[in-house]
Structure 1
Amino acid sequence: MVLTCKVQAGFAGAFLQDAVAGVLMSFLDALRSQAEQVALGARLIIDSSVLR
């Protein structure tokens, strides 16, 4: 997915860029957190199957 945004110069443009960057960083952080939870769950399943 490609996001294109025409931003006018000035304060409003800078604010919009910061807002978009903040939302993107929040999304990526949530995605990383989900990946870590999945990895932990998979590790627990593997550990429990090895112990049997």
Structure 2
Amino acid sequence: NIMVMGPGTVLFLGCIGYIIYMRMNEDKNSYTAMNADGTLTRREKTSRWD
């Protein structure tokens, strides 16, 4: 059991660390939008008040 538990714990913690890393480096000023033809483009967020 310890032969499976050890690598499983390491991989699980690695995944959690990667998720935290991606959330910390997230670009909050842009988003990905899908065009009418199905392609994805990155757009800057704009305020509705402008």
TM tier, shorter chain? 0.5 to 0.7
Q: Which has the higher helix share?
A: 1
Question: Which structure 1 residue ranges, 4+ long, deviate > 4 Å from structure 2?
Answer: none
Gaps of 5+ in 2: 30-44, 46-50
Gaps of 5+ in 1: 1-17
* Corresponding pairs, count: 30
1:37 equivalent among 17, 20, 44? 20
How big is the shift at 1:34? 0.3
Q: Which has the higher strand share?
A: 2
Give the aligned CA root-mean-square deviation in angstroms: 1.3
Paired-residue identity, %? 3
